[in-house]
Structure 1
Amino acid sequence: MFGLFKSVPSTTTNQLESELTNKPMILDVRMPGEYRQGHIPGSKNFPLNKIEQYKGKTDEKLYLICQSGMRSKRAATALQKKGFDVVNVRGGMSQWSGTVRGGKI
C-alpha cells in the first residue's frame, strides 16, 4: 500500500553537472519558450503539460529539470508511476551554474 506513495529521488544541480560526462538523459519540462532562452546542452525539451505522452526507455535514468524544481517534481512523480527511473533536479535552472545553450538564465 505504501509503495504507491514512493518518494521521488532528487539531486542537486552540482551533482547533475558532475554526471554530464556520462551523457545522462535530461528532460527539461519547461515550456518551449523558456527552454529556448537557455538550457543544459544535450537536454531534451518535453513540457510538463505533455509528460503523460512521454515514450522513453523505462530502464534509463531520467533527470528532470524545470526553472525551480516544482514542475520537474510533478513530472517525475507522473513518470515514476508509469515505471520510469526518475531523478528530480532540485532548484532547477535557477540554481544551474554550468554551461547553458541558448539565451541566458
Structure 2
Amino acid sequence: MEYLNYLLIGLIVYFLLQRLLPAKGVNQITTSELRSELKNKTKQFIDVRTAAEFRANHINGFRNIPLHELNRKANEIPKDKEVILICQSGMRSNKASEVLRKLGYHNVTNVKGGMSAWS
C-alpha cells in the first residue's frame, strides 16, 4: 500500500513538472523582451488563447489561433519565420510550443508569464 502512495506522488510530481518546465528546444522571453521583438517584421506573433479572451484584450500585431485549433491551422504559419507564442499565463503557449516543435517548427519562442505579465 505504501508503494502505491509513493507511485501516486511520483506521478503527480512528474505531471506537474511536465506542465511547468519549458518545452525542449523552445526559447523563452519575458514580456519586456517581447516589446522590442514586436517591431521585428520577420517574426510572427500568435496568441493561443480563446477567441473571447483575445477579443477582450490582446497585443497589437498578434494573430489569434486558439490552442485547440493549432494542429488544424498550423499550415497557415510559415516554418521559415520565428514564431512567438503567448497566452494568459504562459502554460498554453508552452503547450503550443511543443505542438509546433513536433510539427517541424525549429524557431519557436514562448512568452513567459503571458498576458498576465504584460503591462
Alignment size in residue pairs: 93
Partner of 1:78: 99
Cα distance, 1:6 vs structure 2? 3.2
- What letter corresponds to residue 67 of structure 1 in structure 2? Q
Q: TM-score, normalised by structure 2?
A: 0.74
Deviation at 1:69, TM superposition (A): 0.0
- Match of 1:22, SS state, is coil
Question: Could you tell me which residue of structure 2 aligns to residue 28 of structure 1?
Answer: 47
Gaps in structure 1 of 5+ consecutive residues: 98-105
Matched, 1:47 2:47: no
Amino acid at match of 1:21: K
Q: Does 1:8 align with 2:29?
A: no
Opposite residue 86 of structure 1, the aligned amino acid is V
Tell me, in whole angstroms, the C-alpha distance in 2 between the residues paired with 1:63 and 1:43.
Answer: 9
Cα separation, 2, equivalents of 1:25 and 1:18: 13
Q: Which has the higher contact order (CA 8 A, sep 6+)?
A: 1
Kindly, what percent of the aligned residue pairs are identical?
Answer: 47
Partners of 1:13 and 1:90 in 2: CA distance: 7
Between Structure 1 and Structure 2, the one with more helix by share is: 2
Pair member with larger Rg: 2
